[in-house]
């Protein structure tokens, strides 16, 4: 490498509704860093196909090659000489750990109930629907990752910072993670 390439400094992972996107946006803005959001990639692909995120999640479960292609893209990005400083996705911490990439690997832990509350605020769903959809998507994803890669998302071994964010607001999560970058 010539020294001017960007290397990933931070991976951010968490279940849908945990605040990973908000955290990534805030850190990228504060530090002037580039970022890639796996949720945006996922939602963009669902939209491109003209289906909902839940339908796309089911498609990924039924056609594992669809999911593998998205994961391969993120792994390739992580290994790229032009990788952004921040990459967010549910599995990116696992990939960074397994590829022995030295970076801060963050998992944002939030209860099902709090994630549903946040989804209600973000998407305007009623609470019961948000909780049900969130739990189903999480179950689908957990099963798919076990089948595809033997990964148990409840295993926190790949992460070197786990933030319990149920009672923290976005500013508090940002301050906590931002203070750990570069330690």
Sheet containing 10-14, strands listed edge to edge, beginning at the edge strand earlier in sequence: 35-37, 86-88, 10-14, 104-109, 161-164
- Give the helix ranges, DSSP H, for 111-169: 112-123, 127-149
152 pLDDT above the threshold of 60: yes
pTM here is 0.87
Q: What are the extents of the domains in the chain? A: 10-111+156-178
For every residue of 61-117, which 3-state class applies, written as one string? HHCHHHHHHHHHHHHHHHHCCECCCEEECCCHHHHHHHCCCCCEEEEEECCHHHHHH
pLDDT tens digits, residue range 102-134?
899 999 999 999 999 988 888 888 999 999 988
Q: How far apart are CA 74 and CA 37, in angstroms?
A: 10
Q: Does domain 10-111+156-178 have CATH number 3.40.50.300?
A: yes
For residues 177 and 27, is the Cβ–Cβ distance under 8 A? Answer: yes
Residue 182 binned pLDDT confidence (cut-offs 50, 70, 90): low
- What average pLDDT does this structure show over 132-149? 88
Judge whether 62 and 54 are in contact, CB under 8 Å: no
> Sorting pLDDT into bands at 50, 70 and 90, what band is 183?
low
For residue 60, pLDDT beyond 90 = no
The size of the chain, in residues, is: 183
Cβ atoms of 165 and 109 closer than 8 Å: yes
127-149 and 112-123 helices, crossing angle to 10°: 120
Whether the pLDDT of residue 39 is over 60: the answer is: yes
């Amino acid at each position: 490498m010539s020294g001017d390439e960007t290397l990933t400094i931070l991976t951010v992972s968490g279940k849908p509704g945990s605040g990973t996107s908000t955290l990534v946006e805030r850190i990228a803005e504060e530090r002037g860093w580039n970022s890639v959001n796996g949720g945006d990639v996922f939602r963009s692909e669902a939209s491109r196909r003209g289906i909902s995120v839940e339908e796309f999640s089911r498609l990924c479960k039924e056609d594992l090659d669809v999911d593998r292609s998205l994961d391969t893209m993120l792994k390739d990005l992580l290994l790229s000489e032009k990788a952004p400083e921040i990459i967010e996705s549910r599995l990116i911490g696992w990939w960074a750990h397994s590829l022995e990439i030295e970076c801060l690997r963050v998992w944002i832990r939030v209860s099902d109930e709090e994630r549903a509350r946040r989804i209600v605020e973000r998407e305007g769903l009623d609470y019961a629907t948000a909780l049900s959809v969130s739990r189903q998507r999480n179950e689908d994803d957990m099963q798919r990752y076990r089948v595809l890669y033997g990964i148990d998302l409840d295993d926190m071994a790949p992460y070197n910072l786990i933030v319990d964010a149920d009672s923290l607001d976005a500013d508090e999560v940002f301050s906590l993670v931002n203070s750990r970058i570069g330690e």
